[in-house]
């Protein structure tokens, strides 16, 4: 592995840790009592905003021309379907984060709306966990390299 690509993989690892931290921050915000009202909403909004930023960075980094997924396709073309699945998940995950942010900006009148928002954000976290697991498996299968967990 050349030094340039090794440095790039270091960025992928660092960014993966940052995404894990923002996922933990969202979980922490969601764990607070929704009865805190505007305080709860503010914490969730801040955590969702950070998660959106880190998820966009993840997508840009892994899908960049000549980047992570392109390298996997070069080294292990048999994994092209799995790379395509990861990319499709990126689009769906980004859309859901944006939807949650828009929903939050439009306001959440009443306890039912807050509960539904919390449930959707919790589902998103589960989807992200599974996406990261599949990404780890894909990476290992392509390179026999463990990118690591949360940090």
Cβ-proximal residues to 129 (8 Å cutoff; 6+ apart), any chain:
23
Task: For CA atoms 4, 148, 150, 83, give the dihedral sign.
Answer: positive
CATH of domain 3-143: 1.20.120
Residue 16 CA, chain-centre distance (Å), reads 8
Are residues 138 and 114 in contact, defined by beta-carbon separation less than 8 angstroms?
Answer: no
Reported pTM: 0.88
pLDDT at 150: 52
Provide the percentage of residues in the chain whose pLDDT is more than 90: 64
Are residues 16 and 147 in contact, defined by beta-carbon separation less than 8 angstroms?
Answer: yes
pLDDT at 81: 97
- Using 70 as the pLDDT threshold, list the residues of the chain that sit under it: 1, 104-108, 145-151
pLDDT at 50: 97
Q: Where are the domains of the chain?
A: 3-143
């Amino acid at each position: 592995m050349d030094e340039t690509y090794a440095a790039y993989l270091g960025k992928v690892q660092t960014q993966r840790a940052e995404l894990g931290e923002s996922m933990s921050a969202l979980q922490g915000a969601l764990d607070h009592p929704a009865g805190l009202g505007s305080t709860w909403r503010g914490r969730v909004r801040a955590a969702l905003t950070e998660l959106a930023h880190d998820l966009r960075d993840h997508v840009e980094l892994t899908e960049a021309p000549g980047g992570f997924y392109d390298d996997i396709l070069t080294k292990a073309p048999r994994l092209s379907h799995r790379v395509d699945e990861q990319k499709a998940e990126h689009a769906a995950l980004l859309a859901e984060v944006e939807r949650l942010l828009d929903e939050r900006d439009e306001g959440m009148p009443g306890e039912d709306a807050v509960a539904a928002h919390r449930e959707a954000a919790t589902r998103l976290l589960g989807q992200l966990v599974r996406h990261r697991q599949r990404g780890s498996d894909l990476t290992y299968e392509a390179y026999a390299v463990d990118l690591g967990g949360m940090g």
